[in-house]
Amino acid sequence: MAIIKEFKEFAMRGNVVDLAVGVIIGAAFGKIVTSLVNDIIMPPIGYITGGIDFKNLKVLIKPGDPAKKIADVSINYGNFINTMIEFLIVAFCIFMVVKAINSLKKPEEAPAPADPVPTKEEILLTEIRDLLAKKA
């Protein structure tokens, strides 16, 4: 029973719940960005470049055999281009969200600089100064 109680305390901590929500929202956001890239951004780019569908761009290393159900061996660089564009969009959106959140936070006041701790020489010189002032 102690393990169940510990697990419940762990799962109910704010940061675990926040992380779970972030993962779920992130996955949904990833699908939105994938659709944005594949359905909105890449078709005009393909049109501008002469009707090229980036998903189908590849370097064929070894042709497959459809009769034997053997797939082509290829380097799918077009899919890689789509994925890189998706990454850049996601990274930019995350950057903008973090920037917006940071601008909403109140700037923390810098702590007042503490008086520097005097060195042994400074302490000794201060004592000498005080002794000389008493003699005068």
Chain segment 53-85, per-residue pLDDT in tens: 777 788 999 988 888 888 889 998 988 888 888
- 24 falls within a domain: yes
If you average pLDDT over every residue of the chain, what do you get? 82
Chain segment 120-132, per-residue pLDDT in tens: 998 888 999 998 8
CATH number at residue 98: 1.10.1200.120
**Mean pLDDT in residue range 83-100:** 82
- pLDDT for res 75: 92
- 66 falls within a domain: yes
β-bridge mates for residue 59, sequence order: 75
Chain segment 10-21, per-residue pLDDT in tens: 767 767 777 778
What is the number of structural domains in the chain? 1
Task: Identify the domain containing residue 59 by its residue range.
Answer: 2-106
CA 50 to chain centre: 35
Q: What is the DSSP letter of 38?
A: I
CA atoms 75, 80, 82, 83: torsion sign: positive
- pLDDT for res 94: 78
- pLDDT for res 29: 82
Q: How far apart are CA 44 and CA 6, in angstroms?
A: 54
- 131 falls within a domain: no
**Segment holding 61, helix H or strand E:** strand 59-62
Q: Is the pLDDT of residue 117 over 80?
A: yes
Residue 50 falls in which region: left (phi positive, over 0), alpha (psi -120 to 50) or beta: left
